[in-house]
Amino acid sequence: MKNKGRQKHFRNNRGFTLVELLIVMVIIGMLAALVFPRLIPKVGKGKQSAAKAQIELLGQALDQFKLDTGRYPNTSEGLTVLVTNPGVPNWDGPYLKKAVPNDPWNKSYSYSSPGSHGDYDLLSYGADGAPGGEDENKDLVSWE
């Protein structure tokens, strides 16, 4: 027996409707609005922690340089003397495996020797690249 008067309707079940997609996008947007403000301060703290760790490692390399040569690099020699020998007697480097890194904000570390806080001063000026500041703009120094 054939049903000539009835037509079979096939529904394509292979996709999402526009309404379903819009609902998912709204939910994702709401989650992003809640999560991102909490993550942004942690990014700044992570960069500060990375800068402190780099300053510590550079300080260890400077100490090793001093053990070999009897002195810290002067301001004009800078930190590059940790990687390449400019003719310093008893230099037994390189004291760093790679080139001297920039700080996490992609700025050079400030180095001076003799320093005003010890044998040398090594610091990053933070996110703003200027002396002073608070939070992510705070200076990170070797003598603290």
* 14-40 residue pLDDT tens: 777 888 888 999 999 888 888 777 766
Residue 40 to residue 43: CA distance in whole angstroms: 5
> Does residue 76 have a pLDDT over 60?
yes
What dihedral do alpha carbons 103, 108, 112, 115 form, nearest 10°?
Answer: -30
Q: pLDDT averaged over the chain? A: 85
Phi/psi of residue 110, each to 5°?
A: -90, 125
The pLDDT of residue 91 is: 92
- Band the pLDDT of 63: cuts 50, 70, 90: very high
Q: Is the pTM of this model over 0.85?
A: no
**Domains and their CATH numbers in the chain:** 44-141 (3.30.700.10)
CB 129 within 8 A of CB 123: no
Q: In 10 A of CB 144, how many CB atoms?
A: 9
